[in-house]
């Protein structure tokens, strides 16, 4: 690994020398003065974009529409990381590669932000009827961004780091973060409105369940086929039967699936029970089209609040 990185760095130096001759002066200045921020997955990318707008050069390593749990950095990603002033990752199980790669780099001038340290992390949970992976032991649930109040803590951590690293724009980062936090507070209130006086508190997922923090924040009970970071997608007949029985017994009106899912299990359960199939978007990643269109986590989460309201009737 070390040797590969050394080769990459040599190649990079050569590329930078070439780029110097071909770039227009404006672009060069841009690259030289703007803070370079790299994130692993979509939520920190999206939050940083809200806080920094065009003030930073922002890169997301995970390609849009790809699976966040099996991501491994490419040589190009390692170059992007090495060139960063700020690197933002979650710090859960899916980021096992981060420490390994950072250990082989000079990170003395880099600000590193592991977001799991900015919230009260909860352990991944296995509930009745759930098909858990064999080797799954006790691990922190890494889907920390799915509850609005957690998102606020994360935004504060990112904004503080940007302001410290780029003092000239500190006021801008603080102002934009405050505006975004106000929107997240409003989102929190719409989740409260959807849940506080709801007729029921139980939700059913024909999918993985990356919403432990959301369920905890709004006191929801959940049943799901798999834990949040499971690599499994094919449920056993017993798992499907359990979820169908749950929906029938409690007359639950909605069966959820998550984003970038094949939705097959949700279709099966919806057909068997008459429950409506709806999306609860965890914002792990978004489609290429949504990425190009600039779709934001908060847009997806506002729709989540609407869908949750429908599920709790």
Residues binding Zn ion (CB under 5 A): 210, 229
Closer residue to Zn ion in complex, CB, 22/70: 70
Smaller CB distance to Zn ion: residue 144 or 229? 229
| Nearest residue to Zn ion on Cβ basis | 229
Nearest approach in angstroms of CB 95 to Zn ion is 11
Rounded Cα–Cα distance for residues 78 and 38 (Å): 10
In three-state form (DSSP H/G/I as H, E/B as E, the rest C), the secondary structure along 72-120 is: CCCHHHHHHHHCCCEEEECCCHHHHHHHHHHHCCCCCCCEEEEHHHHCC
Helix 75-82, helix 2-22: angle, nearest 10:
70
CB of residue 160 vs Zn ion: minimum separation in angstroms? 25
Q: Which is nearer to Zn ion, 61 or 229 (CB)?
A: 229
Q: Closest approach of Cβ 256 to Zn ion, in Å?
A: 15
273 and 234 Cβ atoms separated by less than 8 Å: no
Q: How far is the CB of 215 from Zn ion (least distance, A)?
A: 15
Distance CA 19, CA 21 (A): 5
Least spacing, CB of residue 68 vs Zn ion, in Å = 6
Tally helices (H) and strands (E) across the chain: 12, 8
Nearer to Zn ion among residue 43 and residue 210 (C-beta)? 210
Nearer to Zn ion, 229 or 300 (CB): 229
CA distance 26 to 276: 53
In Å, what is the CA distance from 114 to each residue of 40, 44, 51, 88, 313? 11, 10, 17, 6, 38
Closest contact distance (angstroms) between CB of 37 and Zn ion is: 22
Pick between residue 173 and residue 226 the one whose CB is nearest to Zn ion. Answer: 226
The strand pairing partners of 140, in sequence order, are 123
């Amino acid at each position: 690994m070390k040797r590969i990185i050394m080769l990459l760095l040599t190649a990079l130096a050569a590329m930078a020398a070439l780029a110097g001759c071909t770039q227009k002066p404006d672009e060069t200045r841009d690259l030289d003065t703007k803070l370079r921020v790299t994130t692993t997955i979509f939520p920190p990318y999206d939050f940083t974009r809200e806080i920094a707008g065009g003030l930073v050069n922002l890169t997301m390593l995970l390609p849009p529409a790809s699976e966040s749990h099996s991501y491994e950095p490419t040589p190009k990603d390692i170059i992007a990381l090495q060139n960063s002033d700020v690197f933002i990752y979650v710090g859960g199980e899916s980021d096992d590669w981060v420490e390994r790669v950072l250990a082989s780099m000079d990170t003395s001038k880099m600000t590193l932000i592991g977001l799991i340290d900015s919230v009260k992390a909860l352990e991944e949970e296995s509930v009745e009827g759930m098909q858990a992976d064999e080797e799954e032991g006790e691990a922190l649930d890494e889907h920390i961004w799915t509850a609005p109040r957690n998102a606020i803590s994360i935004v504060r951590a990112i904004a503080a780091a940007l302001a410290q690293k780029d003092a000239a724009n500190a006021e801008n980062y603080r102002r934009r973060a405050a505006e975004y936090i106000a929107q997240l507070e409003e989102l929190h209130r719409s989740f409260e409105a959807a849940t506080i006086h709801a007729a029921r508190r139980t939700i059913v997922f024909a999918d993985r369940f990356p919403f432990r923090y959301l369920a905890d924040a709004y006191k929801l009970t959940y049943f799901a086929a798999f834990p949040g970071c499971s690599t499994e997608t094919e449920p056993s007949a017993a798992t499907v039967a359990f979820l169908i029985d749950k929906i029938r017994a409690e007359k639950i009106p909605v069966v959820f699936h998550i984003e970038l899912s094949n939705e097959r299990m949700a279709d099966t359960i919806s057909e068997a029970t008459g429950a409506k199939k709806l999306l609860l978007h965890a914002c792990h990643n978004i489609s290429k089209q949504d990425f190009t269109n600039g779709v934001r986590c908060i847009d997806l989460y506002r729709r989540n609040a609407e869908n949750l309201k429908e599920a709790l009737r």
